[in-house]
């Protein structure tokens, strides 16, 4: 269990991890806190955007779309490896998922396959939306993967979490396939190596 990081500490933690940070518009006050609770936080969720083009992807993650208001994540990681901060507080990214998965994340145990949608993940997960078409063919540049590893490691370090606190959306619910194009196990290995 952990209190969400402050906006100032988030920026600092990312920069300390060597991440290039862009602060988007009024991200520090941009959230869905009026619609539900935020925190305590238990983990970090990785997504792909299923979009193309950095600028419009960042705008989409900030603004949301019809029927799904933004922010759609706390950060949008573009192909060039920049972390664009898009929200602070509750964000519309995780949706409903499996409480057994949440328990495993909290205990940092191996994850069970998700088969229920009984828990609101927007309360307790940080979210990073990563620019990718999500078709399994669109490449994930090394700069982008490095930025994902570092951004996740920054939050893990802040909270004293290990790499098992980082999950993919597809590990939260069987309704989702993201992120597609790399495995979460491989990503967690890299995060664990970075955390040392």
The residues binding Zn ion (CB under 5 A) are 47, 169, 178
DSSP run (H or E) holding 119 = strand 119-120
* Minimum CB distance to Zn ion smaller for 47 or for 164: 47
As measured in angstroms, the least distance from the Cβ of 178 to Zn ion is: 4
As measured in angstroms, the least distance from the Cβ of 8 to Zn ion is: 27
Cβ–Cβ under 8 Å, residues 89 and 32: yes
* Minimum CB distance to Zn ion smaller for 18 or for 69: 69
Tokens 């940080």 — which residue?
A: 126
Residue 64 forms beta bridges with which residues?
69
* Minimum CB distance to Zn ion smaller for 19 or for 61: 61
As measured in angstroms, the least distance from the Cβ of 47 to Zn ion is: 3
Residue 75 forms beta bridges with which residues?
85, 128
**Cα distance between residue 47 and residue 44, in whole Å:** 10
* Minimum CB distance to Zn ion smaller for 89 or for 134: 134
* Minimum CB distance to Zn ion smaller for 30 or for 169: 169
As measured in angstroms, the least distance from the Cβ of 9 to Zn ion is: 25
166: helix, coil or strand?
strand
As measured in angstroms, the least distance from the Cβ of 12 to Zn ion is: 27
**Cα distance between residue 167 and residue 148, in whole Å:** 12
Rounded to 5 degrees, φ, ψ at 103 are -60, -40
């Amino acid at each position: 269990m952990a209190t969400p990081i402050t906006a100032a500490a988030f920026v600092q933690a990312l920069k300390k991890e060597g991440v290039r940070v862009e602060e988007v518009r009024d991200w520090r006050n941009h959230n869905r806190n009026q619609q539900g609770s935020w925190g305590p936080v238990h983990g970090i969720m990785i997504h792909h955007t299923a979009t193309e083009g950095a600028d419009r992807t960042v705008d989409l993650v900030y603004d949301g779309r019809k029927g799904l208001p933004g922010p759609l994540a706390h950060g949008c990681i573009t192909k060039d490896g920049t972390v664009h901060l898009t929200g602070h507080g509750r964000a519309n990214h995780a949706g409903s998922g499996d409480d057994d998965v949440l328990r495993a994340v909290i205990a940092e145990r191996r994850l069970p396959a998700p088969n229920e949608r009984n828990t609101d993940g927007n309360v307790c997960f940080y979210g990073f939306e990563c620019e990718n078409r999500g078709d399994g063919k669109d490449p994930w540049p090394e700069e982008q993967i490095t930025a994902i590893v570092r951004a996740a490691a920054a939050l893990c370090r802040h909270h004293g979490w290990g790499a098992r606190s980082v999950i993919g959306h597809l590990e939260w619910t069987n309704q989702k396939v993201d992120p597609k194009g790399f495995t979460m196990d491989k990503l967690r290995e890299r995060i664990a190596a970075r955390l040392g």
